[in-house]
Each structure stands twice: as C-alpha cells, then as structure tokens.
Structure 1
C-alpha cells in the first residue's frame, strides 16, 4: 500500500502576518491615535466611577450600620452620631501621628491629610450636612432593605440637611422617590412641625421643619454607647484613602 501524503502543519506553511505600518502623518495613523485616546479615556472614566461608587457605598454603609435595632433615630441622636462618631473617626490616628512626630519636625503627609479632612468635614457640618433622614420611619424602613452595594438605590431615600450652628433646623433637600416615601409625606418623621420654605434647590422645593424645643437637654443616643469596633468596616473617608 502506497504511503499517504502527509500535509504540512498550518503553522509551518502560514507565515506570520506583518503588521501594517502607517505614515505618522497619514489619516489612518491619526484615526488609530484618536481611537487609542478614546479607549484610555473610557477606561479611566470607568475606574473613577467604580472608585466613587465604592466610596459612597462605604459612606452610606456607616449610617446603615448605625441604624437602631428598631424604630428611628431622634434628631438629637442623629446630631450626636455625626458629631461624636463620624467626625471623630480619625481622632486616634491623628493623635498618634502627632505624638510620633519629633519636636521641630514638619508634619507628615498623613497628618496633614487627616487635619484637612477633619477641618473640611467640620465646616460642612457647620454650614449644612446632607444625610439620609434617619428620623423618618418610611425612609428607615426602606433603607433597611439596602444590599449595601447598589449606590443608585440611595436615590430612592429621603435626604435632609442639618447644621451644628442650628441643631433645631432641618431642611428636606431630597424628598425621596420610592412610593412608600412619597405616599407617607412628612407625617411619620420624628420632627413635630413642618413648614414650606420658599426656596428652590435643584428644581425641588425644600421643606423646613422645626422640632419641639420643650426638652432642654440633649439625650445621649444608645448608638454612642456601642464600641467603635462596630463601625470598623464602615468608618471611612469620603476622600481618597489616607496613607
């Protein structure tokens, strides 16, 4: 029997395809450059978006883990949570940096960043701190169903603005979009009085609410009795990581 003819392998017969080289000033070369720049830009935007969403998820996660086992927070408890837990979360780290610095030595980059962050957030709280309305029962009930990942879900909730200079003043800056919140209005909030404020914020009317000032003392919320370790996974900065 005559031997069969063996076919050569494709790798041996097929020569590697040469990459086309275009003149640097040609139209095709210009198109390739623009395509490459656009691709890099899209990748950069995607990375920034993911990083921003991660930071926001951590920020809202702090308040998610601060929810009481049942019910809502009072306005005093919400102020105490921001002033005594959120704004002081880096105090021990900042003090450690100051203590380790020898006399006459300049501040470390980390110490400077921590001081700038604390100053910026304190000023934000003084002029108006936007936060999920944890005094509003329908908002809290919906917030409890959050998966702690999807930042878009947070847009369904009601947001208020509170200040350290006027603790009794509350302004609704985002009334909430979910049907359980829209239908409930402001009646289920711990805030006792509601008045309409003649102002526009991003096309929506703000609602300013005062609280009953019969109680002169500020109660210490049960959340502040909790160890800080409870918030270890969520106490993070809204800015880039501090190193």
Structure 2
C-alpha cells in the first residue's frame, strides 16, 4: 500500500500497485475524513458520516474487486465535501456549498485563494497519482481498463430509487454496454444504463480526464448503498460483480490472431 501526501495530508491511497490484472480500480469518494487543516466545514458528526460526505460501502467493494481482479486500487483519503475528486476545479460541485438537504457552511462563499488551496492540496495530487499508475502500465504495453466505483442513496429528495446497479459511461459506451448486458445475465440486480446519473450530470470527470484521452476502456459503477451496508454485503457485491467485469472485458476484446500469437 502506498499513499500520496500533500502538506501532511494523505489524499490518495494506492493498493496492489504491482498487480498484473488488466483492470485499474478507482474510488474517488472512498473517505469521509475531514483533515484538521480544513476543519469540519461547520457540519455535525451525523452529516459528516452521511452520504453527502462520501460513498458508503464503495471502498469496501472497490478493495474486494481489486483483490478479485488482481488489480491496483487508487482511492481518495479525504471527504468529497473538502474536494469532490470527480469534479474539475471550475465546477461548483467540486466544493459544494449545498449537498442534498444539507448546507455546507465551510464551503459557502469560498475565496479564490481557498479554492486554489484545496485544488492544490487534494485534487492535483490525487489525479497525478492516478495518472502515474496509468502511465506506468501504458509504458509496459498494458493499457489499463478503468473502473470507478461509487454508491448512491436509495431515496433521493423523498423519492425511492428502484434501480440497484447503475452502469455509467463517458464518450465510449462499449464497456458500459457490455457490463450492463453481463449484469443482466449473471445477477438479479435491477441494472440500468446511465442511471441514477449520467455524463450529463457531470459525474464522469475522472473517466473524461484519465481514460478517454488515452483511448482506454472505462466504466463507472453505481451501487445502491443499502445493498452494501455491511462488510459482508460489500464482499458479496464484489464477488457478484467481478465475473461480470471479466466477462464484459472479454466481450469487447478482439480475439488474438494466429500472427499475434506467433
């Protein structure tokens, strides 16, 4: 396990760096840690442990997936309310002043200097670490398949969500469509494409920044968080999704020719 630090902050943790599998797992909303240098942003403990601060269950699923897929994992070390690593620096959502039903006092009327401080302390080192992992694999002739892991609430502004597993894509839908098809065959989950979010909701920044420019196969997974509310449920979900991802990748990978084998 390796971590990247900026000004004493562990903003990104990388596990299984030398894993030889084809996937690279990413969890941008892995943590609800509020470093002392940023304070609590004026939030009570219950708010800091709620979904607004992180994606509950996502890290547990991502860790298990990384083990099952023999893949590295790059995960966030601070709350997305300090900086949402799946948003670009100019996005209001990068340091949101309001999330769902919660006002975020510490993010209200942020100065340009404070936005820059958080960008330099959190966003830049996280994405530099992820880009470095991608570059190392590209240099070895093994382009990674990027899989980002997220969770979402079963109720949104009072409206129940029946979708259980969302498969999101950016510019290239190939892997997402294959994952959706395999999930419908291999699982009993209510699986849907681009639900409960899509690229139009600005949720594919990491894919757009890190995968699309290199032409890497990529997909964003959204899991309803009541289905991964315990460590046992996280393990079970990862065990269900790992073969789905493997089969999906096989479905979009051209078979090797005799010349290539030779």
Same fold, TM-score > 0.5, yes or no: no
TM-score normalised per structure 2:
0.27
TM-score normalised per structure 1:
0.29
Q: Which has the higher strand share?
A: 2
